[in-house]
A and B are shown apart, each in its own frame.
Chain A
């Protein structure tokens, strides 16, 4: 007999665990397949990109957010709508550069790393690098070229996880979405 109470929460939590466990299995497999952390980081970014270019459609369909007027609005949407919708967390947007083209997302906790520990021989692995690729791919589909990287990572001993996003340029033409 399945438990009646909190079934939706349980169900969502289990889906969350399915996702984080699958992500863990992926990183493990990539570490087996590639010789060094740098290569694994690259693969995670590539795969994230491929996911991002599709995820954006899902996001736009479900959120009915219109076009963002500027990078500040983009940052807000990413933190308050997208992260909330997909990962159930709301990172804070801080550390704006004077030119307004670069900001940080601070994640108090990162759902991807629940129960994860990095072994000593993988000190340069950016475990959650998939996220960078996803953000990059998604934004490219809405005509923004951005650079995304992890500035701090709780898995590597930092207090928080910080993702730094920098606006590179507006993409003028509609390039076809290719898989990398």
Chain B
């Protein structure tokens, strides 16, 4: 069974690799480059999220409704993947959910406060993908974004797409 730290090391190196490759010979990255990197990381996370939720919910009964799904994501799923539960879940009951994790596991090693705040999005793209992938396999198409104002606290916004 793989140690937790292996994922942390691998994730950091993946982020580093993706950004290095995108930058290649250019002096600086522009916003388009950054968007490509985020998109690649997010789609990698998506596949992982799909796989994870499949394993986790293999023996579970089906969920009553969207809110039930979100609660599961905040408790069981978050615990298994990010080693703790979401601290706060808010919703407007119209398809938008905000999940707040005050000690997001992928940010705790980066900083405790405002340092490296501009770097945070790089390290959240993959996780947004994981959440979107998990929800997708549970029948919910969504757009997932993350926002950080003070590390390591992080807010994930899930907007469920209605057909």
CB-based contact A14/B56 at 8 Å: yes
CB-based contact A14/B81 at 8 Å: yes
Distance in Å from the Cβ of A115 to the closest Cβ of chain B? Answer: 9
A17-B10 CB under 8 A given contacts A10-B80, A11-B80: no
Among A22, A28, A86, the residue within 8 A (CB) of B3 is A86
Specify the chain A residue showing the minimal Cβ separation from B44: A25
Contacts of B4 in A (CB 8 A): 12, 15
Please, what's the 1-or-0 string for B17-60, where 1 marks a CB less than 8 Å from any CB in chain A? 10001000000000000000000100011011001100110000
Contacts of A18 in B (CB 8 A): 7, 48, 52, 81
Distance in Å from the Cβ of B118 to the closest Cβ of chain A? Answer: 20
CB interface residues, A 44-70, toward B, < 8 Å: 47, 50-51, 54-55, 58
Among B1, B13, B45, B76, the residue within 8 A (CB) of A51 is B13
CB-based contact A58/B48 at 8 Å: no
CB-based contact B3/A87 at 8 Å: yes
A21-B48 CB under 8 A given contacts A15-B1, A15-B2, A86-B6: yes
Contacts of A92 in B (CB 8 A): none
CB-based contact A11/B10 at 8 Å: no
Q: Could you tell me how many residues of chain B have their Cβ less than 8 Å away from some Cβ of chain A? A: 31
Instruction: Give the distance in Å from the alpha carbon of A168 to the alpha carbon of B6 in the complex.
Output: 27
CB-based contact A47/B13 at 8 Å: yes
Among A14, A29, A51, A86, the residue within 8 A (CB) of B40 is A29
CB-based contact A85/B3 at 8 Å: yes
Instruction: Give the distance in Å from the alpha carbon of A88 to the alpha carbon of B76 in the complex.
Output: 24
Interface centre among A13, A18, A86 (most CB of B within 10 A): A18
Specify the chain B residue showing the minimal Cβ separation from A12: B1
Please, what's the 1-or-0 string for A86-109, where 1 marks a CB less than 8 Å from any CB in chain B? 111000000000000000000000
B67 proximal to A (CB < 8 A): no
A120 proximal to B (CB < 8 A): no
**Nearest 7 Cβ contacts at the A-B interface:** A14-B80, A88-B1, A16-B2, A19-B2, A25-B44, A16-B1, A21-B48
Q: Chain A: residues with CB nearer than 8 A to chain B?
A: 2, 10-26, 28-29, 33, 43, 47, 50-51, 54-55, 58, 85-88, 111, 130, 179
Q: List 25 A-B contacts (CB under 8 A).
A: A2-B76, A11-B83, A15-B4, A18-B7, A19-B2, A19-B7, A21-B52, A22-B7, A22-B44, A24-B47, A25-B47, A25-B48, A28-B44, A29-B40, A47-B13, A47-B14, A51-B9, A51-B10, A55-B5, A55-B9, A58-B9, A86-B2, A86-B5, A87-B1, A88-B1
